[in-house]
Amino acid sequence: MAPFLLTAEQRSMLFLAGIFGPGIFHNVSFGMPISTSLSTADLNAAVRLLSERHESLRTALAGSSAFVQRIRAAVPEIVRSDVLDEGSVEAFARRRNEMHNVSLAPGVAYFEVVGGRHLLGVVDHLVSDGHSSGILSSELGRLLAGEELEPAASFTALQKARRVDDGARAREVEHWRRTLADLPPLVGRMPRSSGDSSDVRTQVDDEISGSGFHDVLRGLVERHRATPFSILAGLVGIAIWRRSGRREFTLHTPVSTRREAASRTMVGNFVLDRPIPIRIDPDMDFMEFAGRLQTSAWNGLRHSKLSVPELVCEVPEYGESLLAQGADYIQLHVDVQTNEATDVVNSPGGSTGPVVLGGFTPAHDLTVTTLRFRFSERRLFTRTFFGGPREGIAEAEGIRADVLTMLRGADLHGKTVGSVADSPTLVYTKGD
């Protein structure tokens, strides 16, 4: 098959990895319980069919080039690992964590039977996203059950059909220039190293059992026709304002580019980073504020064809939010899961203290914060990531805690942004 250019999503990921440093983008993984009676031959046959269905699982860069990729003929084969004196679920969770940052070269996909009872699939994030993991898990389960699946659409054909014409390019650039006009970058607000220690990547997971947060969020969504993301983005914006004194800044979030019907059942990296402008007016009704953020998020979906490096070059305010010396990049993820998706095989869980994942070596003076909120009727799971000095995770965790405090105690109906921020239970470290 003829080689083809990297997609906008792939170019964006490589660009961000280049300025954030190694270890920011994890491999995408999924898992499923399997019968102990399944032979390695049966498993390999199913994996082969899965790989033949989805070209992304056989994609490889052309040498060390970051411009061109091609489809390989080889497909991955099952690896079996023996686990002694450890429960199968615990072994699976440990192995899944171990594979987060492992290079899968020369391929992009890896499959392993852990403890004889669970199948772990790991795919390079360059060719896969979180939605893809659900597709892979579902289809592999059906193949192992002997089902025949409808042929999958061609990833390469879809990408070649996605060429952006000059008119669409100009409209997207104009939208982002207008949306981000005069919006200053968030600079120097997160902790910085004192110079006597190395920066690190630190992560904290927290699991809160029960449906409390899910029920509060669902009530707000139903009452105000808002989205979970817009409500959480509003609360994150307020928390940053109260901690920094800044009323105008940019948040960041990944948006899906699965526009075509065929792409919704296709394995691939269909995610682009897009800015969310935050402009705080303390006298504005909170739900009006959330509504404006919802509109911004929808517009982000509509204007998500150009790659991040293209926008950086065309939209000065966006470029400054990533490339300014002292920039603080803060990204928000919000998911609402079904109960079936919350077990450890399908989704991470549990609570941890701060875990140092490794060094943090950005290309310039920059911090990276990621806040993840996953709601279900069974639990709320959060994951806070911070790249910077060791003590910086406390500030990132403080933002997360402020958001949950406001969400837990709030009947946000009829409240202004300022009154939501004035909760006496919030602890502010740097606010005005």
Final residue belonging to a domain, choices 160, 188, 206? 160
The CATH number of the domain holding residue 283 is: 3.30.559.30
367 pLDDT band, cuts 50/70/90, is very high
The residue type of 337 is Q
Q: Average pLDDT in the 103-114 region? A: 90
Domain shared by 93 and 77, yes or no: yes
376 pLDDT above the threshold of 70: yes
pLDDT in tens, 140-163: 999 999 999 999 999 999 998 998
Q: What is the rounded distance in angstroms from the CA atom of residue 296 to the CA atom of residue 332?
A: 14
pTM for the predicted model, two decimal places:
0.92
In terms of pLDDT, which residue wins out, 87 or 203?
203
Radius of gyration of the chain (CA): 22
Domain shared by 52 and 119, yes or no: yes
Domain shared by 119 and 222, yes or no: no
Domain shared by 145 and 186, yes or no: no
Domain shared by 268 and 391, yes or no: yes
Q: What is the mean pLDDT of the chain?
A: 90
The CATH number of the domain holding residue 96 is: 3.30.559.10
Final residue belonging to a domain, choices 107, 134, 160? 160
Within 8 A by CB and 6+ apart from 191, the residues are 367, 388, 389, 391, 392, 395
CB atoms within 10 A of CB 100: 15
pLDDT in tens, 156-196: 999 989 988 889 999 999 999 999 999 999 999 999 987 65
pLDDT in tens, 281-301: 999 999 999 999 999 999 999
pLDDT over 70, % of the chain: 92
Final residue belonging to a domain, choices 160, 190, 224? 160
Within 8 A by CB and 6+ apart from 107, the residues are 58, 60, 72, 74, 76
Domain count, the chain: 2
Domain shared by 66 and 101, yes or no: yes
DSSP E strands in 300-378: the ranges are 327-336, 355-359, 366-375
Domain shared by 365 and 410, yes or no: yes
Domain shared by 246 and 225, yes or no: yes
Range of the domain at 217: 167-421
Domain shared by 213 and 102, yes or no: no
Q: Which of 95-99, 231-235, 376-380 has maximum average pLDDT? A: 231-235
